[in-house]
A and B are shown apart, each in its own frame.
Chain A
Amino acid sequence: MLQGWVIVLASFLYLGFLFAIAWYADHRADTGRSLISNPVVYALSLGVYCTTWTFYGSVGRAAASGIGFLPIYLGPTLLFALAGFILHKMIRVAKANRITSIADFVASRYGKSQLLGGLVTVIAVVGVIPYIALQLKAVSNSFAILSSYPEIIMPATAGAVPLFQDSALYVAMILAAFTILFGTRHLDATERHEGMVAAIAVESIVKLAAFLAVGIFVVWGIHEGVGDIFAQAAAVPEVARRLATADSPAAYGTWGTLIFLSLFASLLLPRQFQIAVVENVDAKHLSRAVWMFPLYLFLINLFVLPVALAGMLHFQGAGVDADTFVLTLPMAHQHEALALFVYIGGLSAATGMVIVETIALSTMVCNDLVMPALLRLPILGLAAREDLSGLLLEIRRWAIAVILGLGYLYFRVAGEAYALVSIGLISFAAVAQFAPVVIGGLFWKGGTRDGALAGLAVGFVLWAYTLLLPSFAKSGWLPDGFIAHGLFGIELLRPQHLFGLTGLDEITHCLVWSLLANLGAYIGVSLQRTPNVREARQATLFVGGAEAAGMSAWRGSAGVADLLPLASRFLGRERAEDAFFRHARERGLHSMEELPSDTRLVNFAETLLAGAIGSASSRAMVASVVTEEPLGIDEVMNILDEASQVRAYTRELEQKSLELRIATGELREANARLRELDRMKDDFISTVTHELRTPLTSIRAFSEMLHEDPKIDLAQRTRFLAIIVSETVRLSRLINQILDLAKLESGRAEWTVAAVDVGEVIREAADSLTVLFAEKRVMLDLDQCAAGLSVMADRDRLMQVMVNLLSNALKFVPEDSGCVKVGAGGTTDEVRVSVTDNGPGIHAADHEVIFDKFRQGSGTTDVLTDKPQGTGLGLPISRQIVEYFNGRLWVESTPGSGATFVFTLPRQAGDNSQTAHEDAAAGQGPKHNDN
């Protein structure tokens, strides 16, 4: 059943199926119903991390070193535990700046440097080529092995097969064609490939299912569970050695190195960056991937060790490569369908990797290497060409073909000398060189373009010298003398024992030197100078995160007329116009002709172009049409840079000074109040003095008259003595009231609060004044006083209020015809008492004034003669008392028709009296029933 043509047909059917999925996903994306905008799809697509290295190579690695295959998957797990700090930030930054690849990311971070973008691209291409070779080797081997079914024959080494009979060559060509179809059908301004991501997610499911199927078959089909395999393995000494042992400090060191290495690789490999960052639809999807992607890794590794052990037990000494156990175990047990499924799973793993990796690399090669170079060559006249979008696609297609060609070449040259995993690790070590500039660039603002260039260059050279060249030498392609004796025979320069460093495996050895030198050069060279304006701006964008995005670097302007043709040349007319139109709509305009020639438009065009040709090229292209204003943007940016540092400080100062201003205002107000009070106190004292002097003067005058003239007749003498007595009474009352008021105002007054019958108080007050009313022949009417009105108050004080109001009324009513009416009534809440007279009334302007101390109604200026009984303190004291009990005292009057003084008291003493109660004598405060 498993003839060659069946396998080929199955392969093509599978590839066709993938293509259909991609087509459908693209179609859905075009109609706005994205298939991949889903956290599960995102997590699955991250499974592109698992290539044939995982699918076939892990078992081989496990057969060679027990659990040695695991760190490659523990590293990414740990990376995703740091997702909140690293990945999330990268995604946000990449989205804000339309980053299209890791080269673009690095170039953009360090001032949109074309040179840096180019260097990253070179490192990525050279570094990843062994990894691509690994896929070719795995697919062609699995094809060869499967097609020899039912026999199990290891394929001949590639070098021994003539070129055109080498299945790996055809695999490379088919994969190239397939990738070109997949990734370069049209140019996307955002460099996102919905269809590809959907296909990758499906491939992740296929390879996981295939591996789990093999695992289940091996564990429960061939053996009787995991325990059985381990028990059998333990019985065979040769196999038992592989049982999960790390037996030296160096082994632990290697183990730790691999975790660390894979942590970076799962972030920095071009395809990982492409899927995790560039193709990410929504940063929120990351939170699901945080556990789902590690879980995927866990599942795909679940059966690795059991399968490896089972393979070793089954094929002891049969010369079967452990890298092929996944395929050869089902074959050995005549499970054709399972074997075919495994083959398809391996194909999945390989195609997924190759497609994403080469698309990512081709984008980098095109945007960061070829286009910048072509645009600089004036001979080609590209800068003036109308439509470059076709050219861009052409470059990418060629880049894909060339990269796969190089992969094949590496496979032919060096592929046979290594196991799958060892080849992959060479690539991991290469992309680990990006770690300092990428991670450093995200968190350290001081990195400069020169530092990044130096770090990358040094790291790359050391990587090539200690890892890549030895891999060529081992396959005999380079003379291996330089491994054993060092370059030019200098012992210290032996690539795998550089400067005499021994005791490490080759990967750890390479990483120690290359990363140390890389980091040292990056930091050391960066610190040679402060970042220039452009670097500083990009540093702000990357380190500061999203809030800094949207800052404009352009001081110049260009109109739609300049920018649209520019964009059209790279994106094609239709797409460019569409994007400009959408931009106009976002800004609330109806057509793109209305777009103003401002920096915002220039920024928009730059970001748009960056999606197609990379940020560095985009900047160069836009600069060619933007007329920047001559005065140094550098100086302005310098100022801005300093300003931004000072800004935080300033904000703090502003905050402080605001607080100070508020405090000052409050103090000024308090001061003004104090001054006012001081003035009032002075006024009060002078008034009091005046009030006291008046009766004193008259007492003294009459006393002196009596004293000096003994011959005054009796009638006169009696009259004078009566005046003296009356003035003395007045004086003592005045002094009493002043003391009383002072007490009230200072809160030292004593209050005895109890239930008081208002009617009783009114009658008592009236009784005490009966004589005075009778003397002046004034009628006092108490008929409208309701009975049984009770309030919580101080009886004596309330009495004082009533007496004040009644005597006040008495003062103003005419003699003989005067009439004073007292009314009292109440609601459930309050009691209301009114005292109405038929005196001259009070002007509206004086309604409040009369409650001030020593002030009386207008027309009563001459206190001594006209109102001999008034002190001007009765009403203020009354008001103080009423208000103490939360009541109100006021006057209603129209001049000519008398006045009515009204006060109300709540039936329950309120809060105010509660606070005042603290000043009152202990235990004599108001009783509260309501709380």
Chain B
Amino acid sequence: MIRTRLVAQRLAFLFLVGCFFFNYPLLSVFNRGGDFFGLPPLYAWLMGSWLALIVLMAQVVEGKKD
């Protein structure tokens, strides 16, 4: 539940993680040619880390209440 401070703080931590994932300078690491399982690396990174972030957020709010 969002009401508990711990969950809210865990989510806020994911916010910071997301800010790092989705922005310069990390993006520049993936901004190059070549491919990653047939996908451009930057695209693969963004979609992959986005989905991972959503899964983590789901785990935080739906995980066992404490």
Contact surface of A with B, Cβ cutoff 8 Å: 66-67, 70-71, 74, 77-78, 80-85, 88, 225-227, 230-231, 234, 243-247, 249, 252-253, 255-256, 259, 283-284, 286-288, 290-292, 294-295, 298, 302, 305
With A67-B43, A226-B38, A295-B54 known as contacts, the answer to whether A259 contacts B22 (CB < 8 A) is yes
In the complex, what residue of chain B is closest to A293 when comparing beta carbons?
A: B54
Contact A84 B8 (CB under 8 A): yes
Contact A255 B27 (CB under 8 A): yes
Q: For residue A247, which residues in chain B have a CB less than 8 angstroms away from its CB?
A: 31
* Interface of chain B residues 31 through 62 with chain A (CB within 8 A): 31, 35, 37-43, 46-47, 50-51, 53-55, 57-58, 60-62
Q: For residue B8, which residues in chain A have a CB less than 8 angstroms away from its CB?
A: 84-85, 88
Identify whether the interface residues of A are mostly helix, strand, loop, or mixed: helix
Q: Mark B1-31, 1 if CB is under 8 A from A, else 0.
A: 1110001110110110011001110011001
Contact surface of B with A, Cβ cutoff 8 Å: 1-3, 7-9, 11-12, 14-15, 18-19, 22-24, 27-28, 31, 35, 37-43, 46-47, 50-51, 53-55, 57-58, 60-62
Identify whether the interface residues of B are mostly helix, strand, loop, or mixed: helix
Q: Could you list some 11 contacts between A and B, CB below 8 A?
A: A84-B8, A84-B12, A230-B35, A230-B39, A246-B27, A255-B23, A259-B23, A287-B61, A291-B54, A291-B61, A294-B54
Specify which of A80, A227, A246, A284 is in contact with B57 (CB 8 Å cutoff): A80
With A83-B2, A227-B37 known as contacts, the answer to whether A252 contacts B23 (CB < 8 A) is yes
Instruction: State the Cβ distance, A88 to closest chain B Cβ, in Å.
Output: 5
Q: For residue B35, which residues in chain A have a CB less than 8 angstroms away from its CB?
A: 230, 234
Q: For residue A249, which residues in chain B have a CB less than 8 angstroms away from its CB?
A: 24
In the complex, what residue of chain A is closest to B38 when comparing beta carbons?
A: A227
Contact B2 A84 (CB under 8 A): yes
Instruction: State the Cβ distance, B35 to closest chain A Cβ, in Å.
Output: 7
A290 to B47, CA, bound (A): 18
A88 to B9, CA, bound (A): 13
Q: For residue B14, which residues in chain A have a CB less than 8 angstroms away from its CB?
A: 81
A320 to B14, CA, bound (A): 41
A245 to B42, CA, bound (A): 8
Q: For residue A231, which residues in chain B have a CB less than 8 angstroms away from its CB?
A: 38
Contact B11 A82 (CB under 8 A): yes
A225 to B37, CA, bound (A): 12
Q: For residue A83, which residues in chain B have a CB less than 8 angstroms away from its CB?
A: 2, 11
Contact B62 A291 (CB under 8 A): yes
Contact A256 B7 (CB under 8 A): no
Contact B38 A82 (CB under 8 A): no
Contact A81 B11 (CB under 8 A): yes
A88 to B7, CA, bound (A): 12
Contact B54 A298 (CB under 8 A): yes
Q: For residue B24, which residues in chain A have a CB less than 8 angstroms away from its CB?
A: 249, 252-253, 255-256
Instruction: State the Cβ distance, B62 to closest chain A Cβ, in Å.
Output: 7
A245 to B31, CA, bound (A): 6
In the complex, what residue of chain B is closest to A228 when comparing beta carbons?
A: B38
A902 to B27, CA, bound (A): 92
Specify which of B1, B15, B38 is in contact with A284 (CB 8 Å cutoff): B1
Contact A88 B12 (CB under 8 A): no
Instruction: State the Cβ distance, B12 to closest chain A Cβ, in Å.
Output: 6
Contact B28 A81 (CB under 8 A): no
